[in-house]
Structure 1
Amino acid sequence: MKNIGTQDHFQMVQFIEEYRPHNRIRLVLWKCPHEGCFKCNTAGASRVNLGLCSAVFCVRNERGDLVEAGARKLQDTTNIVAKASAIQDGLEYCISNHLVPVVIESDSLIMINIVEEIWDSPWKISVEVRKIKQWSNKGYVQFAHILREGIALADYLANMVFDFAGTIQIHSFQELPTAARKILNSDKSAMPYIMHSTYKVRELD
């Protein structure tokens, strides 16, 4: 092992003492939709990028109460397909059950830009995107991006579905697992989620 010289040791100690991580902390809130409107949070999760995935939607009313949640497994696919499928499932449920106006939220900025026709759709989700556009033309629908912390309930269910076979349909608050109930109640009471990230600042030469 190479010995560290006195000068090198001094520089190392000085670096450690002067080091300050650059942290970014943001508070993320789940907000109830406007009176007479609905909000549908969507989430897609994957164990590996090409393999078993899940697609989930959670519909809630103006009071933040659960109207319906649905989750299903997707075999041998990718995360972006899962997120597109979640938007499609949630939108189809809302339009079919006259839950409009509705705000469809996703933590995938890519998907929001695609359905808003800001970006072109890749071929592997062309079928899902076409169906999303068809369903969105049948009612008043708004698409919105939200940070992952803001869809905690949908994200929880997206990971839970891996432990179940087939699909999951949840029709009421009482049918939610205990952990999911706590998330929903926290959302309704406007408890913020803390988003923490650390990043480097590039030094100028």
Structure 2
Amino acid sequence: MDKVVRWVKPVYPFVKLNSDGLVGSNIAEMGGIIQNFKGDVIISYASPLNHCKVIYAEMKGLAYGLEVCVRIGITNVVIEVDALSLIQLLNNNIMCYPDFFYIMRKIKSLMAGLNFSLVHIFREGNACADFLAKKGSLLDDVEAFSSINIPQQLCGLVRLDKLGLPYIRSI
């Protein structure tokens, strides 16, 4: 059975932050994208990480995106992540690993200053953030992309999302 998944534009005055983290056998990376109510890219980012647990990579991607929002003065944010476990950790104040204490505290602190909603999106609908997280392994450090230097493939994914074209998720 298949499920249709779409990235949906936020309603003004909100922006949407999609973030992701990935861990492979020898790599870890994170990335994310912030888009306005028209679906236009405000900023996107990608970075390699030291090898870590997947949930930590997800947390790093979210924390960086929240830091960007605060730094540039964005206060109304729809946050979408494809890690349901991260949403559960944040919503239920669960601390499963002591190593995560400081990053969880940082995320909570950043979110406290925002008018936000935190929602789950399936991986297929998080294609831009997924692309950026994968790009992180090709970089030496955190790199930000604006509309001026956006990678060509990301530009195509953003266009698909802005048009509301569906992704198909096989269940």
Task: Report the TM-score, using the length of structure 1 for normalisation.
Answer: 0.79
Q: Structure 2 CA distance, aligned partners of 1:166 and 1:133?
A: 25
Letter in 2 for 1:40: L
Are 2:119 and 1:155 aligned?
Answer: no
What pairs with 1:21-100 in structure 2 (closer than 5 Å)? 24-48=1-25, 51-100=26-75
Q: Structure 1 CA distance, aligned partners of 2:151 and 2:51?
A: 27
Match of 2:161 in 1: 187
Match of 2:142 in 1: 167
Are 2:95 and 1:144 aligned?
Answer: no
Q: Deviations over 1:6-62 (max 9, x none)?
A: xxxxxxxxxxxxxxxxxx2001000000111110000001122xx521111210000
Letter in 1 for 2:27: L
Give the CA deviation at 1:76. 2.2
Q: Structure 2 CA distance, aligned partners of 1:118 and 1:148?
A: 24
Give the alignment partner of residue 112 of structure 1, picking from 70, 84, 87.
87
Structure of higher RCO (CA pairs closer than 8 Å, 6+ residues apart): 2
Q: Which runs of 5+ in 1 are unaligned?
A: 1-23, 198-205
Q: Structure 2 CA distance, aligned partners of 1:57 and 1:150?
A: 13
Give the CA deviation at 1:118. 5.9
Q: Which runs of 5+ in 2 are unaligned?
A: none
Structure exhibiting the larger radius of gyration computed from Cα positions:
1
Task: Report the TM-score, using the length of structure 2 for normalisation.
Answer: 0.94
Contact 2:60 2:103 (C-alpha < 8 Å) held by counterparts: yes
Are 2:153 and 1:176 aligned?
Answer: no
Q: Deviations over 1:64-98 (max 9, x none)?
A: 00001111111121211100111111111112211
Match of 1:7 in 2: none
Contact 1:32 1:62 (C-alpha < 8 Å) held by counterparts: yes
State percent identity of aligned pairs.
Answer: 26
Q: Structure 1 CA distance, aligned partners of 2:95 and 2:81?
A: 18
Are 2:84 and 1:103 aligned?
Answer: no
